[in-house]
Protein backbone atom coordinates (compact mmCIF):
# COMPACT_ATOMS: atom_id res chain seq x y z
CA UNK A 1 0.00 0.00 0.00
CA UNK A 2 1.80 3.13 -1.24
CA UNK A 3 -0.98 5.70 -0.89
CA UNK A 4 -3.43 6.01 1.98
CA UNK A 5 -7.08 5.20 1.38
CA UNK A 6 -9.30 8.28 1.19
CA UNK A 7 -11.53 7.82 4.23
CA UNK A 8 -13.70 10.84 3.47
CA UNK A 9 -13.92 14.06 1.50
CA UNK A 10 -14.72 16.42 4.34
CA UNK A 11 -12.98 17.05 7.66
CA UNK A 12 -13.87 15.17 10.85
CA UNK A 13 -14.90 17.38 13.75
CA UNK A 14 -13.39 16.14 17.02
CA UNK A 15 -13.41 17.38 20.60
CA UNK A 16 -9.94 17.12 22.11
CA UNK A 17 -9.21 16.96 25.84
CA UNK A 18 -6.13 18.74 27.20
CA UNK A 19 -3.40 16.29 28.20
CA UNK A 20 -4.98 13.28 26.46
CA UNK A 21 -2.99 11.30 23.88
CA UNK A 22 -4.47 10.57 20.47
CA UNK A 23 -3.39 8.45 17.50
CA UNK A 24 -4.42 9.94 14.13
CA UNK A 25 -4.98 7.38 11.35
CA UNK A 26 -2.64 7.95 8.40
CA UNK A 27 -3.56 4.88 6.31
CA UNK A 28 -7.27 5.61 5.89
CA UNK A 29 -8.29 2.05 6.79
CA UNK A 30 -9.45 2.67 10.36
CA UNK A 31 -13.15 2.23 11.08
CA UNK A 32 -12.73 4.74 13.94
CA UNK A 33 -11.86 7.72 11.70
CA UNK A 34 -10.08 9.99 12.16
CA UNK A 35 -8.36 7.92 14.85
CA UNK A 36 -6.27 4.76 14.51
CA UNK A 37 -7.75 1.36 15.31
CA UNK A 38 -4.68 -0.69 14.33
CA UNK A 39 -5.76 -1.64 10.80
CA UNK A 40 -2.52 -0.14 9.41
CA UNK A 41 -0.58 -3.24 10.45
CA UNK A 42 1.32 -4.60 7.47
CA UNK A 43 0.73 -1.50 5.32
CA UNK A 44 3.91 0.46 6.08
CA UNK A 45 1.85 3.27 7.63
CA UNK A 46 2.02 4.33 11.27
CA UNK A 47 -0.36 6.62 13.14
CA UNK A 48 0.56 10.17 14.12
CA UNK A 49 0.53 10.13 17.91
CA UNK A 50 0.16 13.42 19.79
CA UNK A 51 -0.98 14.90 23.07
CA UNK A 52 -3.57 17.69 23.05
CA UNK A 53 -2.20 20.93 24.49
CA UNK A 54 -5.67 22.27 25.22
CA UNK A 55 -9.30 21.21 25.23
CA UNK A 56 -10.86 22.37 21.97
CA UNK A 57 -12.81 21.42 18.88
CA UNK A 58 -10.57 20.56 15.92
CA UNK A 59 -11.13 19.51 12.31
CA UNK A 60 -9.01 16.53 11.28
CA UNK A 61 -8.21 15.34 7.78
CA UNK A 62 -10.24 12.43 6.43
CA UNK A 63 -8.84 12.37 2.89
CA UNK A 64 -5.30 11.72 4.22
CA UNK A 65 -3.81 14.23 1.75
CA UNK A 66 -3.20 17.10 4.21
CA UNK A 67 0.26 18.62 4.55
CA UNK A 68 -0.60 19.55 8.15
CA UNK A 69 -1.61 16.22 9.76
CA UNK A 70 -3.74 15.65 11.65
CA UNK A 71 -5.41 18.97 10.82
CA UNK A 72 -7.44 19.46 7.67
CA UNK A 73 -5.82 21.92 5.23
CA UNK A 74 -8.53 21.77 2.55
CA UNK A 75 -6.79 19.18 0.39
CA UNK A 76 -10.09 17.29 0.08
CA UNK A 77 -11.34 20.11 -2.16
CA UNK A 78 -8.90 18.94 -4.86
CA UNK A 79 -10.47 15.49 -4.74
CA UNK A 80 -14.00 16.83 -5.18
CA UNK A 81 -12.92 18.83 -8.25
CA UNK A 82 -11.30 15.90 -10.02
- Rounded to two decimals, the pTM is 0.91
**Per-residue pLDDT, 45:** 96
- Number of structural domains (the chain) is 1
What span, in angstroms and rounded, lies between the C-alpha atoms of 16 and 5? Answer: 24
What span, in angstroms and rounded, lies between the C-alpha atoms of 39 and 28? Answer: 9
- Over residues 4-18, the mean pLDDT reads 97
Maximum mean pLDDT: which of 1-10, 19-28, 72-81? 19-28
**Per-residue pLDDT, 79:** 86
pLDDT in tens, 31-82: 999 999 999 999 999 999 999 999 999 999 999 999 999 999 999 999 865 5
Task: Give the range of the structural domain holding residue 53, as residue numbers without chain letter.
Answer: 1-82
**Per-residue pLDDT, 81:** 56
Amino acid sequence: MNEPKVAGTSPCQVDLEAGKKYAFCTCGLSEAQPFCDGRHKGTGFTPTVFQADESKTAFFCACKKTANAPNCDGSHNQLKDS
